[in-house]
Structure formats: structure tokens, C-alpha cells
Homo-oligomer: A and B are copies of this chain.
Amino acid sequence: MVQYVSSPLDRSFSALSDATRRGIIDQLGQGDTSISSLADQFQMTLTGMKKHVQVLQLAGLVVTQKVGRVRTCRLGKRGLKAEAEWIEAHRKLFEARFEALDELINDMKQEGSDESAS
């Protein structure tokens, strides 16, 4: 509903949420490729593939260049730095939470064994 902004992180995580698009990135890691070649590999119409590439482009993950009649796609220089940073920071958050929980459990165990002494 009325998508107000849509930050870079919104766009890149959204772009990565589709298996076909993750596959395109895999493919482009092997080397630059045309839209029609990608369409071929992923068994999809040219038009369909073009849409996927556009999503990746909007996310800055892929750049394209048209020379003659073929548009070549390659990985964007933007990379996945911001995404890696978000994920890494929050992976640590998850872990910290579980450590906190473990401590709580240990405290509870402690209290349990203290009961006879109180």
C-alpha cells in the first residue's frame, strides 16, 4: 500500500528474495552475459528476463550496457557491502539475545539449587 520510500536495503533484499535473480547473480559471477542468454538458461521469455534484470539494476546489483543489438549484463560495482553489514550486525544481535537467555536460565538453575539453603 502506497510504498512511501523504499530504501536501498529494501530494494536489494527484495531483489535477492527471488531464486531466479539469485541465480542470475551466480551466473554473472562466472562472466558477463546477454539478456537472451540468461532467458535461455532460466527458460523464460526475453521480456520476463528483462524484468528480472531491471529489478537487479534498480537495486544496483547489476549494470547493463547495450552494444549493437545485444545488452550485456554484469555485476554492479556497488556489491553487497551494505547488505553484508546489516546481516552481520544483526546476526550478532541474535546471538547476544541467546546468550542473555542462557544467562537467565543459568540464574534460574542457580536459584533452584539455592532453595534448600534458603
A residues with CB within 8 A of B:
5, 7, 9-11, 13-14, 16-19, 22, 25-26, 28-29, 74-77, 79-81, 83-84, 86-88, 90-91, 93-98
Contact = CB atoms under 8 A, between A and B. Distances in A.
A74 B101 CA distance: 11
A5 B19 CA distance: 10
A98 B28 CA distance: 12
Q: Is the interface of A mostly helix, strand, loop or mixed?
A: helix
Contacts of A87: 80, 83-84, 87
Contacts of A18: 10
A95 B84 CA distance: 13
A79 B96 contact: no
B10 A17 contact: yes
B29 A90 contact: yes
Contacts of A75: 93-94, 97-98
Given A75-B94, A77-B98, A79-B94, 12 more contacts: A10-B19, A13-B14, A16-B86, A22-B86, A26-B93, A28-B97, A29-B90, A29-B94, A29-B97, A74-B97, A75-B98, A79-B95
